[in-house]
Structure 1
Amino acid sequence: MSEEPEGDPEPTENISGGEAGGGPSGFEPAADPATRAEAVVDRLGERYWRKAYGGQAAFECLVRTVLSQNTSDKASQPAHDALMERYGPGGPEWADDLAASVAAATQDDLAETIASAGLYNRKSETLIRLAARVLDEYGGADAFDRFVTEESPGTVREVLLDMKGVGPKTADCVLLFSGGRGGVFPVDTHVHRIARRMGLAPADADHEAVRAALERDVPAEKCGFGHTAMIQFGREFCSARKPACTDDPDACPLADHCDQVGVYPETGDVVDPAEAPEADTTAD
């Protein structure tokens, strides 16, 4: 059986935050946004939900985010549900702690359980290794959750990035969806593309540089919502190959804030912002 994801289309709604945790954000759009990035997030708030995040169990959030790597929510969500049904509370492999259950799993069984997420051999190996480390260093999922929610964000991020198989986006998602930390703006492929295309970050910025630009220019309480809403905007309007503006200049609700770096509506051509000949490497 192939490990490659099947390229499932994204769901209508962004479910990357899951159903648990978070609530209404309480912020209102600024009368006079301090930066263009804040103005973009406020405009997204007129179209999508404004939600605060936090409250997910940290190890389960880490599992969910690993499963989402290199695939869609539509593919990773069933894998998460199957894993929880088998290794979570009440499941046949439950060991009184999710980290203990996953650490004790055989790789073949875990890989079969999460197969819908794609790359299941690599992901099952990663999850077992992460579970063993959480058990060894924290004693279990509950203590790991306390570490993520109570320790300083910088320390938590440093520790997460030291875990093999955890990259910046995964670490930031755990900080956001579990820790509920303000000022954390995870950067996935949608956010990376849109921020550079709009001119909110340098055209040649890598994911970490985009994150730094957005966390600098978006108020802390709006970063989590900005992440999820920008993903939804990318799915609906600012896709990689055919953004809405290539069909109709007025079709994009953020047209007045966009530099269209690498997008040429007159010809329909679309290139990575870093490859645009006129790209400016200094964002506003």
Structure 2
Amino acid sequence: MDDEPAENISGGDSGGGAFAAFEPNEAETKSEAVVDRLGELYWQKAYGGRDGLECLVRTILSQNTSDKASQPAHDALMERYGSGDDLAASLAAAEQSELAETISSAGLYNQKSERIIRIAEDIVETYGGADGFDRFVREEPPEDVRETLLEMGGVGPKTADCVLLFAGGRGSVFPVDTHVHRIARRLGIAPADGDHEGVRQALEAAVPGEKCGFGHTAMIQFGREYCSAREPACLDDPDACPIADLCDQVGVYPETGEVIDPADAPESNGK
């Protein structure tokens, strides 16, 4: 059984954001050319406007699991604890065992429930509730928001960047999950040995800010459909990949069927 839904929940019709057509132009970087191609293949969207706490909760639930597992946990949490400004107070007062049971489909539910309650308590104390937290995420300097989020227990760079993108609507934010980390390095648009932060910095430096959001969500979808970890489409057919002409195939060897981490590939590998 496929561990992922058919469509990235952040990019599909139900994933929020607004479709925004970008005028075709000649990309200034290879990274922009990749994002443009993926936008044509999937979607071009401008993000922002989600509730900050809900976005934070959703992203925590998605850690170390798939959308297929985390989405039911998110839906059950929202049904049980409410939404809007009431969500922060409800979660802050939640019984940890009850919340853990509610989100059990997402895995690591004891750890995640403890994080969510602790973060909700902090939001109530610091911002007065979810509405105050929303204003902070949307109005304060992005670097300050990111630093504050990273200081919350259990919030890493990808989670912080997703909140900045989907709730804050901040441009020039390109969250890096496992799909983006793998694909950007395979393509040769990020250092082969780059960690998640190194890949993020490379992409944000080379992709126009207004394209970073859909670049993130479309690259995830591309990873699910074409450029999986073990069986990228180009192994069977060089023409099966819609961005083959832009790919350096770092760590991918169609002639032998071998696939390795780009960090372990010889420097000479690539087109």
TM range (shorter): over 0.9
1:238 equivalent in structure 2: 227
- How many residue pairs end up in the alignment? 269
1:3 equivalent in structure 2: none
Residue 107 (1) aligns with residue 102 (2):
no
Residue 28 (1) aligns with residue 23 (2):
yes
2:216 equivalent in structure 1: 227
**Residue of 28, 41, 50 corresponding to 1:47:** 41
Amino acid at match of 1:56: R
TM-score scaled by length of structure 1: 0.91
Cα deviation for residue 25 of structure 1 reads 2.1
Cα deviation for residue 69 of structure 1 reads 0.5
Residues 228-267 of structure 1: pairs in structure 2 closer than 5 A: 228-267=217-256
The answer as to whether partners of 1:54 and 1:176 remain within 8 angstroms in 2 is yes
The answer as to whether partners of 2:10 and 2:16 remain within 8 angstroms in 1 is no
3-state SS, counterpart of residue 238 of structure 2? coil
Residue 133 (1) aligns with residue 122 (2):
yes
Amino acid at match of 2:153: K
Cα deviation for residue 21 of structure 1 reads 3.9
Kindly, what percent of the aligned residue pairs are identical?
75
Residues 173-212 of structure 1: pairs in structure 2 closer than 5 A: 173-212=162-201
3-state SS, counterpart of residue 250 of structure 1? helix
The answer as to whether partners of 2:9 and 2:15 remain within 8 angstroms in 1 is no
The answer as to whether partners of 2:11 and 2:218 remain within 8 angstroms in 1 is no
Cα deviation for residue 120 of structure 1 reads 0.4
The answer as to whether partners of 2:76 and 2:102 remain within 8 angstroms in 1 is yes
1:120 equivalent in structure 2: 109
The answer as to whether partners of 1:17 and 1:177 remain within 8 angstroms in 2 is no
The answer as to whether partners of 2:11 and 2:43 remain within 8 angstroms in 1 is no
CA pair 110-17 structure 1, distance change in 2 beyond 3 A: farther
2:74 equivalent in structure 1: 80
In structure 2, C-alpha distance between the alignment counterparts of 1:69 and 1:275, rounded to whole Å? 25
**Residue of 242, 258, 261 corresponding to 1:269:** 258
Cα deviation for residue 45 of structure 1 reads 1.3
Amino acid at match of 2:113: S
In structure 2, C-alpha distance between the alignment counterparts of 1:265 and 1:8, rounded to whole Å? 24
Cα deviation for residue 8 of structure 1 reads 5.8
In structure 2, C-alpha distance between the alignment counterparts of 1:41 and 1:28, rounded to whole Å? 13
The answer as to whether partners of 2:96 and 2:114 remain within 8 angstroms in 1 is yes
**Residues 119-142 of structure 1 deviation map (CA, whole Å, 9 limit, x = unaligned):** 101100100010011011111000
CA pair 9-29 structure 1, distance change in 2 beyond 3 A: farther
In structure 2, C-alpha distance between the alignment counterparts of 1:132 and 1:228, rounded to whole Å? 30
In structure 2, C-alpha distance between the alignment counterparts of 1:146 and 1:186, rounded to whole Å? 21
Cα deviation for residue 258 of structure 1 reads 0.5
TM-score scaled by length of structure 2: 0.96
Amino acid at match of 2:8: N
Amino acid at match of 1:29: P
In structure 1, C-alpha distance between the alignment counterparts of 2:144 and 2:260, rounded to whole Å? 37
